[in-house]
Amino acid sequence: MSFATFSLLAALAATTVSAHGYVNNASIGGVEYTGYQPYQDPYTTPLPDRIFRAIQGNGPVEDLTSIDIQCGGYTAGGIVGSSPAKLTAGPVAAGSQVDLYWTLWPESHMGPAITYMALCPGGDCSTFVPESDAVWFKVQEAGRTGSSDVWASDVIEKAGGFLSYTIPSCLAPGSYLVRHEVIALHAAYAYPGAQFYPSCHQIEVTGSGSTTPSALVSFPGAYAAADPGITYDAYKASEYTIPGPALFTCGGSADSGSAAPIVSSSASAPVATSVVSNSTLPAITTSAAPLETAAPVPTVLPSTLQTLVQTSSTVPVASAAPVAAAGDC
């Protein structure tokens, strides 16, 4: 075995061991979009156009006061806060379900899945940077089932697993920035300890709705270290309180659906038409952006919710690249 080959294998092994996860691709309004590929996109010329904003990698954000908590940035590494993406998904009708396919999630990193939306001013997300403004409303949440070992993150520890949210049917048309996250609680018994894995994408919503939510929060700001959903011993059999504001609903109904997981057959999983060796987490394509190969694959973990489980036979293999600098296991 050559030294170069050995180095490549060692790099891949290191990535797999230290990996956590991120949204690899999405199915929105019947169209499949490739997520931001942190180990590929920064090294590609020209930079691929995405609907997803840049993230630092597969590592977590742990500082609740950092702007990085907003969309998964890494200020110390040059990815500050929430830099707009060039594309916006859609148009997609209010009331539609959006499926977000994660890289394999480590089983040890149990936790909730939460989704927020923010209206982009002037109908344009390509220049919208929320900074610390209160613009976000919660549209989906799922945590622990009672005091059992069933968590919202369970579904993405399986190849092809995905988490979902439903765009509230009463929502006014417009362009929205969506913030979706999984919070890993394996070390959350003291602060800092909880690990946040946020990701943001841009989406155009259509329909006859007229509701503009007014109970808004900011990131940073929505969570505090002392919140019961932030400092929490996940190894004890106890109820879990999902952090953040109350769930936004239409007319008092749980329009965003924080229900138990629905099991779907692997036959319905989005399948890429021009991907290199990726038969698991469907690598997807957008009509405006070139498709990339799947990003590095982390290990494994848990989930409950209106999230959906989907499985396929293999896991995407990543090319060798730098390991995320932010956060550790």
Q: pLDDT digit string (tens) for 53-102?
A: 999 999 999 999 999 999 999 888 877 767 899 999 999 999 999 999 99
Give the number of C-alpha atoms closer than 13 A to the C-alpha of residue 147, restricted to the C-beta side.
6
The pLDDT of residue 319 is 39
The pLDDT of residue 19 is 54
Output the six-digit token pair for 282: 């469907």
Q: Edge-to-edge, what's the strand order for the sheet holding 174-184?
A: 89-93, 195-206, 174-184, 113-119, 137-142
Residue 183, number of CB atoms within 10 A of its CB: 26
Mean pLDDT of all residues in 289-305? 38
The pLDDT of residue 76 is 82
Write out the H or E segment, with its range, that includes residue 206.
strand 195-206
Gap between the Cα atoms of 203 and 128, Å rounded: 13
The pLDDT of residue 79 is 76
252 pLDDT above the threshold of 70: no
Q: How confident is the model at residue 1 (pLDDT cuts 50, 70, 90)?
A: very low
Residues contacting residue 250 through CB under 8 Å, at least 6 positions apart: 168, 169, 170, 171, 209, 211
Mean pLDDT of all residues in 150-176? 97
Output the six-digit token pair for 64: 């609740």
306-325 pLDDT per residue, tens = 433 343 333 343 333 344 44
302 pLDDT above the threshold of 80: no
- Three-state DSSP state, 76: helix
For residue 205, which amino acid is it? V
Could you tell me the pTM of the whole model? 0.75
The pLDDT of residue 99 is 98
Mean pLDDT of all residues in 145-163? 97
275 pLDDT above the threshold of 70: no
271 pLDDT above the threshold of 90: no
Residue percentage of the chain with pLDDT more than 90: 66
Mean pLDDT of all residues in 135-140? 98
